[in-house]
Amino acid sequence: MIIDNNISLKPYNTFNVDAKAKYFAEVNSIYELKQLLNDKNHNSEKILILGSGSNILFTKDFDGIVIKLNSTEIKLISETDDNIFIEADSGLEWDGFVKYTISNGISGIENLSLIPGKVGAAPIQNIGAYGVEVKDVIESVNIILLNNLDEKTLSNEECKFGYRDSIFKNELVNNFVVTSVLFKFSKSNKVNLSYLPLKNSFVGKTESEITSEDVRNAVIAIRESKLPDPNKLGNAGSFFKNPIITQEKYDTLKNEYSDLNGYPESNSKMKISAGWLIEKCGFMGKRIGDVGVHEKQALVIVNYGNATGNKIVEFSKMIQNEVKSKFNIKIINEVNIL
């Protein structure tokens, strides 16, 4: 295990923002991770666990140690007549895991295809797309607590999953490392076409004719048609969460804007598109210097060249303020800002 110092983080974040880490280490096992965290030369440093850097925005150098987990093992834990249990290491690319499940005849996360990031980040953010959230298939999450290096397993319930939320962003923030995730897949899973644009990809077909691989391919096509490739244009995907508003407020907006779509969150709440709000405020394709909103997806803020993290934050606040002014709705960052 090599510990480097004064390392540029530009290759390690999809916004392509230049920032430096005081120390940087890549670890390949739980043993190496604990060895590093016990190292008397570094155990007093601030710690940042970095996955793909696909949901993070650096606004300054990181005055501590950045740790990248490289373990990528997938293990079949058990199988019953109804379910199959698979454990995946946190360093595994998320979409690689989705591809693995499809190729092995396992369904349940095909709607989450092409989401950037690592398996270890999936429960933290409770990633979701096209009518599916990862909490729906998580059995438990294995972690190491940073304050005492104890290994612990949290059940699905103990993870306190919410919309793009979990215990890891609240009670356990800055005090854990996800080492692996145990997934529970039902053998009777049916394709989920609750998201209208996805359903429209299969006009003329019945659900029984549609496979999980078909859904994966359709999701990939939709995402690639409207989301920029971070390898070509710096971005972190959706910058904002979709807001949840009251049914009453939704009905009022719907009367004024017939093109507004909402998705029931509860009996009295509706989730609406932050992208729709941003587009209505005139930000689609808007650019100031090297920062702008993508021309095909208003939820995505992009770095066109050498934008700093602070310039991107400044631009995001301009969007938030305009949405608040026009609709009296607060949109919240999905991207973690450091």
State how far the Cα of 235 lies from the Cα of 293, in Å rounded to an integer.
Answer: 10
Q: With beta carbons less than 8 A apart as the criterion, state whether 91 and 180 touch.
A: no
Residue type at 64?
Answer: G
Whether residue 291 is predicted with pLDDT greater than 90 in this model: the reply is yes
pLDDT, greater one: 106 or 227: 106
Respond yes or no: is residue 216 known to be catalytic: no
| Domain definitions of the chain by residue range | 3-69, 74-186, 234-337
The arithmetic mean of pLDDT across residues 59-81, rounded, is 93
CATH number of 234-337: 3.90.78.10
Tell me the percentage of the chain whose pLDDT exceeds 90: 67
The predicted structure's pLDDT at residue 321: 96
- DSSP class of residue 175? S
List 54, 90, 107, 164, catalytic entry? 164
Q: With beta carbons less than 8 A apart as the criterion, state whether 120 and 69 touch.
A: yes
List 54, 107, 166, 238, catalytic entry? 238
Respond yes or no: is residue 238 known to be catalytic: yes
The arithmetic mean of pLDDT across residues 277-306, rounded, is 93
State how far the Cα of 77 lies from the Cα of 85, in Å rounded to an integer.
Answer: 5
State how far the Cα of 201 lies from the Cα of 272, in Å rounded to an integer.
Answer: 21
- DSSP class of residue 309? H
Contacts 24+ apart (CB under 8 A), 93-98: 93/52, 93/117, 93/118, 93/119, 94/118, 94/119, 94/121, 94/122, 94/127, 96/72, 98/216
User: Which band of pLDDT confidence, cut at 50, 70 and 90, is reported for residue 232?
Assistant: confident
Whether residue 110 is predicted with pLDDT greater than 90 in this model: the reply is yes
The arithmetic mean of pLDDT across residues 283-296, rounded, is 93
Q: Where are the beta strands (DSSP E) in the chain?
A: 3-8, 20-27, 46-50, 56-57, 62-69, 74-79, 83-89, 128-129, 132-133, 138-145, 151-155, 176-186, 234-238, 244-246, 262-264, 269-272, 287-288, 291-293, 300-303, 336-337
The predicted structure's pLDDT at residue 227: 85
pLDDT, greater one: 141 or 190: 141
Q: With beta carbons less than 8 A apart as the criterion, state whether 243 and 277 touch.
A: yes
List 26, 45, 93, 334, catalytic entry? 334
Q: With beta carbons less than 8 A apart as the criterion, state whether 296 and 226 touch.
A: yes
Architecture of domain 3-69: 2-Layer Sandwich (3.30)
Q: With beta carbons less than 8 A apart as the criterion, state whether 313 and 57 touch.
A: yes
The arithmetic mean of pLDDT across residues 87-96, rounded, is 95
State how far the Cα of 91 lies from the Cα of 52, in Å rounded to an integer.
Answer: 9
The predicted structure's pLDDT at residue 45: 84
Pairing of β 300-303 and β 291-293: antiparallel
- Contact partners, residue 236, CB within 8 Å, separation at least 6: 13, 14, 15, 54, 55, 56, 57, 230, 301, 335
The predicted structure's pLDDT at residue 203: 87
pTM: 0.83
Over the chain, what is the mean pLDDT? 91
CA 236 vs. chain centroid, Å, equals 9
Q: Structure tokens of 246? A: 């009251």
Phi and psi, residue 318, nearest 5°: -60, -40
CA of 87: how far to CAs of 95, 111, 182, 227, 268, in Å?
A: 15, 19, 4, 30, 37
Q: Structure tokens of 290? A: 């090297």
State how far the Cα of 57 lies from the Cα of 191, in Å rounded to an integer.
Answer: 34
3-state helix, strand, coil in the chain (%, to 5): 30, 30, 40
Q: Do the first three CATH levels of 3-69 and 234-337 match, i.e. the same topology?
A: no
The predicted structure's pLDDT at residue 42: 74
CA of 302: how far to CAs of 51, 95, 240, in Å?
A: 20, 22, 13
116: left (phi over 0), alpha (psi -120 to 50) or beta: beta
- Identify the weakest region by mean pLDDT among 17-26, 34-43, 127-136, 204-213: 34-43
Residue type at 55?
Answer: N
The predicted structure's pLDDT at residue 285: 92
Residue-wise pLDDT tens digits, 11-50: 999 999 999 999 999 999 899 988 888 887 777 888 898 8
Q: In the CATH hierarchy, which top-level class contains the domain 74-186?
A: alpha beta
